[in-house]
Amino acid sequence: MPEARSVFFVSDGTGITAETLGHSLLTQFDLPANPVSLPFTNSPEAVDAAIERIEQASTSGLRPIVFSTIIDAGLRNRLRRVNAVIFDFFDTFIAPLESELGMESSHTIGRSHGIADPRAYGLRIDAMNYALSHDDGATVRHYAKADVILVGVSRSGKTPTCLYLALHYGIFAANYPLTDDDLLSGRLPEVLRPHRQKLYALNIRPERLAQIRAERRPGSRYAALRQCQYETTRAEGLFHQEKLPHSDTTTMSIEELAATIIQTCALPRRLY
């Protein structure tokens, strides 16, 4: 196993872009890394403090790796003094993009994860409030407003996916947990039928479901493998019969689920 490497994400804004870039690249290497984020590095003093911090992290002669998304040219130059390997995102891509677009970049800090557009911000909060008030079938009154309604047994991954869709894309996502009665009847609940075109089904392998439920209610009938097998099998039969688009959430991340649902249902992405 190679030695752990010090890794820094340096940004004059939130650091999210630097982290996304650096993390994506690092996952391509079997390398133990100690990542540190240095957001809001937006003044000469902050850059100097970052340089000091980075150079102190140099281990056994291995230079730290720095992923930077600093936009200000002066600060970027200042950071270059650091004794480390710098991967500079804007340095690399802004010039070719300027040339392709035939215009200069604005060099404005914090545009990508700032509050650039108050309308978009309001939309995302509305979508979050919608997800919260339509969580777990709490209310079924405003399904007409939903972009998508996730259907599945309890703990199949509906809530985090709804919240993620809301916070990231401004998508109005409700969720409906299948009840014992629904599973027994083997038919779509009455309340969902008018919204058939908006349904997306989530299912999960019973062993994983039992494990998740046991963390909430250990030793309960709810968490018993037998009960989980019954519910997931009945749910699968229902989804199949109703020909609902569906995903098995057992080994999918929330991001993968969200991207899959958006693509499958051709959902309107209100934020980028």
Interacting residue with a second copy among 1, 45, 181, 263 (CB under 8 A): 263
List 4, 49, 125, 138, residue binding a second copy (CB under 8 A): 125
- State how far the Cα of 57 lies from the Cα of 54, in Å rounded to an integer: 5
Q: Residue from 1, 61, 101, 184 that binds a second copy (CB under 8 A)? A: 101
Which is nearer to a second copy, 181 or 215 (by Cβ)? 215
Show the binding pattern over residues 211-250: x = contacts a second copy (CB under 8 A), - = does not: -x--x-----------------------------------
Helix (H) or strand (E) holding 10: strand 5-10
Rounded to whole angstroms, the Cα distance separating 46 from 49 reads: 5
The single residue among 5, 76, 234, 246 that binds a second copy, judged by CB under 8 A, is 5
Strand partners, 5: 33
Q: CA-CA distances (angstroms) from residue 139 to 164, 172, 175, 180?
A: 19, 14, 10, 18
Which of 1, 45, 60, 100 lies at the binding interface for a second copy (CB under 8 A)?
A: 100
- 8 A C-beta contact, residue 216 and residue 261: no
Q: For residues 41 and 70, is the Cβ–Cβ distance under 8 A?
A: yes
Compute the least distance from the CB of residue 99 to a second copy, in Å. Answer: 10
Judged by CB under 8 A, the chain residues 34 through 63 that form the site for a second copy are: 35, 37, 39-40, 63
* Residue 142 β-bridge partners: none
Please choose, out of 45-53, 65-73, 183-191, 192-200, the segment that lies near a second copy by the rule CB under 8 A. Answer: 65-73
Q: Which residues participate in the annotated binding site for ADP? A: 152-159
